[in-house]
Amino acid sequence: MNKPMTAAALALAFGAAMTVAAMPAAAQDKMSEKEKCFGVALKGKNDCKAGAGTSCAGTSKIDNQGNSWSFVPKGTCEKTASKTSPTGFGQANEFMEKKV
């Protein structure tokens, strides 16, 4: 960059970047598009509010453990297969696993 940086040049660069870097709507607010889903996490892969290393994340002992949950895209929980769930799918609340 050999020319001096002006406010106008910076604003222009930002403007160009904004058109290139279209922010996908999906990235706008990921949290609101996810929901807790019980019974679909593989063992050791469950999410946890407090996060890895501090508490319960990654502590589930079996696949599809009924009282451990994962964040999943909203609307997909009860369509996600869970071999331990009485309904056969993930649930919004914890449940007792059925024997498989």
Partner 1 sequence: MSGQQAFVDALLDFGPANQACPSGLATWNHSDPARRFAVYRNNVMISLIDALADGFPVTQELVGEAFFRGMARQFAIAHPPRSRILAYYGRDFPSFIETFLPAASLPYLADVARLEMLRVLAYHAADRETLTRDEIGAALADDSELTRRCLVLHPSVAVLQSNFAVVSLWGAHQGLGDIAAVDPTAPQTALVVRIGLDVNVVGIDAATGRFIGRLIQGATLADAAIYASTAEPRATEFDLVASLGVLLRWKTICEFSAFSEFSAPGTSER
Residue whose entry in the numeric block shows the structure tokens 């949950």: 69
Q: What is the smallest separation between the CB atom of 7 and partner 1, expressed in angstroms? A: 4
Residues 40-59, interacting with partner 1 (CB under 8 A): 47, 51-54, 58
Q: What is the smallest separation between the CB atom of 82 and partner 1, expressed in angstroms? A: 21
Q: Which of 84, 88, 92 is nearest to 37 (CA)?
A: 92
Residue whose entry in the numeric block shows the structure tokens 């001096």: 4
Stretch that binds partner 1, among 10-18, 61-69, 80-88, 92-100 (CB under 8 A): 10-18
Interaction between residue 98 and partner 1 (CB under 8 A): no
CA distance 100 to 95: 14
Interaction between residue 10 and partner 1 (CB under 8 A): yes
Task: Using CB under 8 A, count the residues that bind partner 1.
Answer: 28
CA distance 91 to 81: 10
Residue whose entry in the numeric block shows the structure tokens 């946890």: 48
Residues 21-40, interacting with partner 1 (CB under 8 A): 21, 23, 27-31, 34
